[in-house]
Structure formats: C-alpha cells, structure tokens
Chain A
Amino acid sequence: NAGVMQNPRHLVRRRGQEARLRCSPMKGHSHVYWYRQLPEEGLKFMVYLQKENIIDESGMPKERFSAEFPKEGPSILRIQQVVRGDSAAYFCASSPARTGDTGELFFGEGSRLTVL
C-alpha cells in the first residue's frame, strides 16, 4: 500500500512561469490537504479538498494559486506567474475521512519549489 505520493520532489521555475504540483493520496483516501512550509517558518494550511470539491481554501492566496482534486487522477496545486516568495516546500496529506473525525493523517515527502 503506497503512501502519499508527491511529484515532482524538486521543481525549479523562473519568475512568471507556472508550477504544477501533484499529489496522489493513499489508496482509499478521498480527503486531501495542501500545506506550505516557507524557509524557517512553520507549516501553514492552504486548502482542503475532497474528490471534485474544494471544501476549505481559506489558507490559499486569492490570486495565482488554485487547487483541484478531480474524480480521476491526482490532486494538483497550481501556481501561476510564480514569484520568488513562492519558493517553499509544499506538502500534501491525505486521510480516509475529515481529520476531525478520525485524526488519521498521512503526509507525502513534499515538493520543493525554487523560483529563480
């Protein structure tokens, strides 16, 4: 049973390009969470998705950032027109139910974005 898979593990982009980060949750998990870890900062919640629905995007910047979790395929965090401040590690986590119900949460290895 594979864990949460994130790719790419490392991504380098120039300012103004687009970054796409993918997350495949654990088998049987339909809840996906994205977190961002800025250098020397703690993890911050970005967005919570269930299959085909965004449940809570209160932590995600209103511009340039979007997330989806389609019926088929991985969840994708998309950052348009990247800026240097977007350089961070982006972690995905999945759970079989909303974390408030079970507390179970499994993290991926993270995707490290560097914007030149």
Chain B
Amino acid sequence: KNEVEQSPQNLTAQEGEFITINCSYSVGISALHWLQQHPGGGIVSLFMLSSGKKKHGRLIATINIQEKHSSLHITASHPRDSAVYICAVLSYQLTFGKGTKLSVIP
C-alpha cells in the first residue's frame, strides 16, 4: 500500500511570494499527479509527471524518483492561487495525499 504524505498541511503566503509544496510517497510509482481543488469546486489536473520537471506558467513541478519525492512550486503567488493542492501517485491505482491548503493574502 502506498502512503502519500504532503507538507505543509496549511500554508499562508503574501501575494508575490514563492511557494513550495512537498509530496513524499513510500513505494514505486509509474506517475505522479498534482491536482488543484478550489473550495466547493471540482478538481483540475495541473501536472502529470513520471520524471524530471514540468513548467506551466507560474507553476513548476519536479519529481525525484530515487528519493520518492515531488515538489510543486508557485512563483509570484496570487490570491487566485488559493486552493487545496493534492498530490496523487499512480501505481496500480491512484493514491492521494490529504492536500495542502494554500491561502495567498493580498
């Protein structure tokens, strides 16, 4: 069974700050997803990674397969980035972390 740990659980940042959210997992995977969930809203897939690094706008995701660790970075954070960010790892099926609640204050 894969255990997925995210840190921090909660994060408050000032607008413009650089943000990092971490995800660690316990067993080998074929891919890792970063998801975004707004309060009361649906889930949006931000990235799917199996190695290296991906960038989309102000979002950057990295993964280190050997260390079983991934990070999601947000540059120049904005209040509209406020959401819950969820790491999910794929082995046989998706296993989700509990999420990191991000609040960006103007």
Contact = CB atoms under 8 A, between A and B. Distances in A.
Interface string A73-102: 000000000000000000101000001100
Interface string B45-87: 1001010000000000000000000000000000000000010
Give the contact-size bracket for chain A: 20 to 34
Give the contact-size bracket for chain B: 20 to 34
B95 A105 contact: no
A48 B43 contact: no
B41 A109 contact: yes
B43 A56 contact: no
A42 interface: yes
Q: Give the dominant DSSP class at B's interface.
A: strand
Interface string A98-116: 0110011111111010000
Interface of A: 33, 35, 41-45, 48, 56, 58-59, 91, 93, 99-100, 103-110, 112
Given A91-B42, A100-B92, 18 more contacts: A33-B94, A35-B94, A42-B99, A43-B96, A44-B96, A93-B43, A99-B31, A99-B90, A99-B94, A103-B30, A103-B33, A103-B90, A104-B48, A105-B45, A107-B35, A107-B43, A109-B41, A110-B43
